[in-house]
Amino acid sequence: MSNELLDAPARARTSFLSGPLPVLLASALWGTTGTAASFAPAGASPLSIGAATMGFGGLLLLALAGRSAFAVLRSGQLGLLVVGALAVAVYPLAFYSSMALAGVAVGTVVTLGSAPVFAAILERVVDGVRLDGRWAVSAALAVLGLLLITGGGWSGGTSTALGVLLGLLGGAAYVVYSWSASRMMRRGFGSRAVMGAMFGGGALVLLPVLALTGGPLLGSPSGLLVAGYLAVIPMGLAYVLFGAGLRRTSTSVATTLSLLEPVVAAVLGVLVVGERLAVGAWCGMALIGVGLVLVSTRR
């Protein structure tokens, strides 16, 4: 047996540890945001929570990147950087507004469930990437699992329809900034530098929004604790992990792996918040698990 065949399992393990695993860990941390936000003051708006999370978190990522982030600014990648930064700013505002209008279940399933589809379209049209049947099956299982978790919850009405549209906008924004970051990393820039520059740019848009809407959130000790946690853990630490994994993972695979987030959110809702899940929701989480295993272990 050749050395190449003998080394294949070791290469597969290394590939998983350096690519899908950091993305999965980031998704797990993102799944804590809903539980953490439930401890915010009653008057805190979804816009203020989203702006605080990615606004302060963006400044943290910029600080962690240091001078390397400004090197990205001077590198001639300004177009990609501006597109990514604007998508970073749009994502939390659209996502949290979607949940406020259509409900947490519908807002989450539309935003996260649409991301793999948008990623596939973007990579196919712009990069000419051909997606295999394994990815298609894993994405379909994961989206079906999301639908089961939410119970297909749809209340109807104008506000729900607007919430769905905002959820689609959020899903598209998530894909655009992931794709922009991945493209810059593949051109030789470090993940911390790219994420610091991109999210620092997004913070310039989000912090004025926070100044307008963040009074109830930032005006109490509990609100400051919630904002601090969201900025440091699900934003700062999670996006460092996400950036590291994105260097060795395509945008379509990374967005599919991020569907672990609602599974973690559902489990924490049961264990911490005291919510109850139906049998269908547990089946949905199992389907997402199968889809994640398929997409994270493909060679």
What is the distance, to the nearest Å, from the Cα of residue 221 to the centroid of all Cα atoms in its chain? 27
The model's pLDDT over 221-231, given as tens digits with 9 standing for 90+, comes to: 989 999 999 99
Q: Residues 82, 85, 91, 93: what is their CA dihedral angle, to the nearest 10 degrees? A: -100
| pLDDT of res. 6 | 46
| pLDDT of res. 100 | 76
pLDDT over 90 (residue 90):
yes
| pLDDT of res. 18 | 58
d(CA 169, CA 54) in angstroms, rounded, equals 17
Quote the DSSP letter at residue 297. S
| Percent residues over pLDDT 70 in the chain | 83
| pLDDT of res. 52 | 92
Three-class secondary structure of residue 82 per DSSP:
helix
Sketch the domain layout of the chain as residue ranges. Answer: 17-296
| pLDDT of res. 299 | 47
The model's pLDDT over 6-27, given as tens digits with 9 standing for 90+, comes to: 455 555 555 656 568 888 899 8
The model's pLDDT over 246-275, given as tens digits with 9 standing for 90+, comes to: 877 777 778 778 878 777 877 777 777 676
d(CA 259, CA 281) in angstroms, rounded, equals 14
Which class for 13: exposed (0-12), middle (13-18), buried (19 or more C-beta within 10 A)? exposed
- The arithmetic mean of pLDDT across residues 163-182, rounded, is 89
Lowest mean pLDDT among 85-89, 125-129, 208-212: 125-129
Phi, psi of 77 (to 5 degrees): -100, 25
Structure tokens at 199: 């999210």
d(CA 297, CA 293) in angstroms, rounded, equals 6
- The arithmetic mean of pLDDT across residues 1-7, rounded, is 50
Rg (CA), the chain: 19
The model's pLDDT over 110-164, given as tens digits with 9 standing for 90+, comes to: 777 778 778 878 877 887 777 677 777 877 887 787 677 666 554 456 777 788 7
| pLDDT of res. 296 | 57
Question: Mean pLDDT in the chain?
Answer: 80
